[in-house]
Amino acid sequence: MKKYLLTLLLFLPLAAHAAAVEKLKTFIAATRSAEADFTQDVLDQNGKRIQSASGVMQFQRPGKFRWTYQKPYEQIIVGDGRKFWLYDKDLNQVTVKSLDAALGSSPAALLAGSNEIEKGFSLSESGTREGLEWLEARPRSQDSSFSSVYMGFDDKAKLVVMELNDAFGHKTVLRFSKMQMNPKLPARQFEFSPPEGADVVGE
């Protein structure tokens, strides 16, 4: 009996790891584009919420995405396949850089990047909570803004939550709802031209 229990304990983590990794790979392989509402909360080292926002997220692989923040401030983040654009309406400022430099090993690469996830991230199973299967992704590059990213999937391999941890102990929690898988998104959604009169910073 003891031998059976030991064998079971040895194989359980492997099975869980396979399940978590496979859910991410299934999501990546099956989802060429997606659209979802999102909420974003930033928590300090003590778990206190210090910032909240909400909006709409869209992506189309490879390398195209649009995050439109609607509340409490208006901000647009666009990846057009070549460049990364960030427009802050209140500041009337646009930040632009090459998409490769902006993505690198960032969380955006997990959603809008190529299917070669494990080139940029080290993946491991992180158990279950909130009724979701969790995966930890650690960027292989030292240049990433985040030390780790946790992704929670439901039983249909649909992404529900992302938790991004930075080097300062802050956690950014993104929750997705009303997610549509593989919608036909117009090309103009992933195009961006700086508004007239806006300050453009970067390339």
Residue 12 has pLDDT above 60, yes or no: no
Average pLDDT over residues 85-106: 82
Q: What pLDDT score was predicted for residue 15?
A: 36
Q: What pLDDT score was predicted for residue 63?
A: 83
Residue 187 has pLDDT above 90, yes or no: yes
pLDDT tens, position by position, 100-149? 766 655 666 667 766 667 777 888 999 998 899 999 988 887 777 788 89
Q: What is the mean pLDDT of the chain?
A: 83
Q: What pLDDT score was predicted for residue 2?
A: 39
Confidence class of residue 60 from pLDDT cuts 50, 70 and 90? very high
Distance CA 44, CA 107 (A): 19
Average pLDDT over residues 67-96: 91
Distance CA 121, CA 119 (A): 6
Distance CA 135, CA 20 (A): 6
Confidence class of residue 73 from pLDDT cuts 50, 70 and 90? confident
Where do the domains of the chain lie, and which CATH numbers do they carry? Answer: 2-202 (2.50.20.10)
- Residue 136 makes CB contacts below 8 A (sequence gap 6+) with 123, 124, 125, 126, 148, 149, 150
pTM: 0.82
Residue 169 has pLDDT above 80, yes or no: yes
pLDDT tens, position by position, 18-38? 477 788 888 888 889 999 999
Q: What pLDDT score was predicted for residue 115?
A: 61
Q: Tokens 């997220």 belong to which residue? A: 57
Closest CA to 19 of 163, 175, 123: 123
Distance CA 187, CA 80 (A): 9
